[in-house]
Amino acid sequence: MVLLPVAVAVGLAALVLAATRFEVFLGCILFIRASIDTIDFGSRTLDAAGAISVLFVGASCLWLLARQEDSAHPTSPVAGLLPPIAALFLCALISVLFSEHPLESLVEVVRFGTLIVIVATLGRIVRDERSMRFVLIAALGSAIVPLLVAFRQITGGGGVFTASGLVRVRGTFLHSNPFAAYLFLMIILAVSLYPHVERRWKLVLGPLVVACGACLIATYARGAWAATVLALVVVGILQDRRILWLLGATSIVAVLAIPSIGVRLSDLTSGQKETGAPGNSLVWRLQYWQQVLALQENRLFGIGFKEVESRATGAGAPPHNDPIRIFVETGFLGLVAYAWLLITLGIQARATLERAPPGVPQGLAVAFAATLAGIFLLSLSANVITQLVILWYFMTIVVLAIAVSRFPVAHARRS
How many whole angstroms separate alpha carbon 399 and alpha carbon 279?
41
Q: How far from 134 is each of 139, 400, 406, CA to CA, in Å?
A: 9, 11, 17
CB 119 within 8 A of CB 400: no
pLDDT winner (highest mean) among 43-52, 114-123, 138-147, 260-269: 138-147
Residue type, 262: G
How many whole angstroms separate alpha carbon 305 and alpha carbon 390?
18
| Per-residue model confidence (pLDDT) at position 65 | 83
Helix or strand or coil: residue 248?
helix
Structure confidence by residue, pLDDT tens digits, 101-114: 899 899 889 889 89
How many whole angstroms separate alpha carbon 147 and alpha carbon 299?
43
Count of Cβ atoms closer than 10 Å to residue 120 Cβ = 23
| Mean local confidence (pLDDT), 272-299 | 74
| Per-residue model confidence (pLDDT) at position 94 | 95
* Average pLDDT across the chain, whole number: 86
pLDDT of 151 above 90: yes
254 or 7, greater pLDDT: 254
pLDDT of 412 above 80: no
| Mean local confidence (pLDDT), 89-103 | 93
| Per-residue model confidence (pLDDT) at position 3 | 62
| Per-residue model confidence (pLDDT) at position 203 | 95
pLDDT of 410 above 60: no
How many whole angstroms separate alpha carbon 297 and alpha carbon 184?
36
DSSP secondary structure string, 161-195?
A: EEETTEEE--TTSSSHHHHHHHHHHHHHHHHHHGG
| Per-residue model confidence (pLDDT) at position 414 | 45
Stretch among 55-59, 116-120, 322-326 having the lowest mean pLDDT: 55-59
Among left, alpha and beta (phi > 0; psi -120 to 50; other), residue 351 is alpha
pLDDT of 239 above 50: yes
| Mean local confidence (pLDDT), 293-313 | 85
Structure confidence by residue, pLDDT tens digits, 339-368: 999 999 999 999 999 999 999 999 999 999
| Per-residue model confidence (pLDDT) at position 342 | 96
| Per-residue model confidence (pLDDT) at position 43 | 54
pLDDT of 72 above 60: no
| Per-residue model confidence (pLDDT) at position 269 | 59
| Per-residue model confidence (pLDDT) at position 408 | 65
Burial code (b: 16+ CB inside 10 Å, e: under 16) for 319-353 equals bbbbbbbbbbbbbbbbbbbbeebbebbeebbeebb
pLDDT of 337 above 80: yes
pLDDT of 381 above 50: yes
Chain centre distance of CA 81: 16
pLDDT confidence band for 41 (50 / 70 / 90)? low
Q: How far from 172 is each of 33, 121, 132, 134, 233, CA to CA, in Å?
A: 10, 25, 26, 23, 28
pLDDT confidence band for 133 (50 / 70 / 90)? very high
How many whole angstroms separate alpha carbon 321 and alpha carbon 359?
36
pLDDT confidence band for 167 (50 / 70 / 90)? confident
| Mean local confidence (pLDDT), 389-400 | 95
Residue % of the chain over a pLDDT of 70: 85
| Per-residue model confidence (pLDDT) at position 272 | 55
How many whole angstroms separate alpha carbon 175 and alpha carbon 178?
6
| Helix (H), strand (E), coil (C) string for 152-163 | HHHCCCCCCEEE
